[in-house]
Chains A and B, each alone.
Chain A
Amino acid sequence: MIAIQKEDIDIGKLINEAKKRGTGAIVVFDGIVRDDDIREMELEAYEEVAVPELEKIASEAKKTYNLLSVDIIHRIGSLAVGENILVIVVGAGHRKEAYEGSRFIIEAIKAGVPIWKKELRKDGDCWVPGEHQHGCGHKS
């Protein structure tokens, strides 16, 4: 499942559905709103481009790391500290491929998928700068 959504993510369901006959390892990445002295976080996406980009990343990861399943669900909207932002569930025959595939996916998302985060801070709001220092605050 590849999706961008406002609703929270049922990680247990994704893990169960990722299990196939050949699955020997499932790696779950759960990106969470960290308490950096913020009130909440707002996320927005260019969905018409972001979803196909996520599908492309999943397909490349499957091919490169011989993965049996990939789920990527990224949330948008207003999120409080402790809420899930992004869940990646990767299934493979062995742990090595699962770990490497998961790492590849998160780094690819951070590098190029059109999604943005704004921290609503107690001392003023700021856009998370990503890989470039165009905004304020720390890197994502």
Chain B
Amino acid sequence: MTVRIRFFARFRELLGTDIIVDAPKGKVLSDLVKDVASKNKEGYDAIFDEKGTFREFVILMQNGKRVETTAAAMTRVADGDEIAVFPPVAGG
């Protein structure tokens, strides 16, 4: 199945954006982001701590809806999903 991952702000600079991933059925959100982030150590370290846990400030969205990082290991992705990964917002 095909899933689109979009990184923003600092994460985008380190990992790119609009990444299309061919993921196996049943893949969970945390593993998907880990796989993609692993391509760049600095990018991985910006998102995950030394234990491989999402850093507390990381925000995840699945199809525009927020997913708590603590729930990402139990959240399956589906074909056609758009996953967004970004640091805290700073508009205004």
Report chain A residues within 8 Å CB of B86: 46, 114, 116
Report chain B residues within 8 Å CB of A49: 61, 64, 84
Determine whether the beta carbon of A74 is less than 8 Å from that of B91: yes
Report chain B residues within 8 Å CB of A118: 9
Instruction: Give the residue name and chain of the A residue nearest to B90 (CB).
Output: A130
Question: What are 29 A-B interface contacts by the 8 Å CB criterion?
Answer: A31-B92, A43-B91, A44-B8, A44-B9, A45-B91, A46-B61, A46-B84, A46-B86, A52-B64, A74-B92, A85-B92, A106-B92, A110-B91, A113-B89, A114-B8, A115-B89, A115-B90, A116-B86, A116-B87, A116-B91, A129-B88, A130-B88, A130-B89, A134-B57, A134-B87, A134-B88, A135-B87, A135-B90, A140-B91
Q: A49-B64, A49-B84 are in contact. Are A117 and B90 (CB under 8 A)?
A: yes
Determine whether the beta carbon of A117 is less than 8 Å from that of B91: yes
Interface residues of A in 68-95 (CB under 8 A from B): 74, 85-86
Report chain B residues within 8 Å CB of A130: 87-90
Interfacial residues, chain B to chain A (CB-CB below 8 A): 6, 8-10, 12, 55, 57, 59, 61, 64, 84, 86-92
Q: A46-B84, A49-B84, A135-B10 are in contact. Are A116 and B89 (CB under 8 A)?
A: yes
**What does DSSP make chain A's interface, helix, strand, loop or mixed?**
mixed
Report chain A residues within 8 Å CB of B91: 43, 45, 50, 74, 86, 109-110, 113-117, 140
Instruction: Tell whether A48 is near chain B: CB-to-CB under 8 Å.
Output: yes
Report chain A residues within 8 Å CB of B55: 134
Determine whether the beta carbon of B90 is less than 8 Å from that of A140: yes
Residue of A31, A127, A140 touching B10 (CB-CB under 8 A): A127
Considering the chains assembled together, what is the distance between the CA atoms of A111 and B10 in angstroms? 18
- Closest CB-CB distance, B82 to chain A, in whole Å? 8
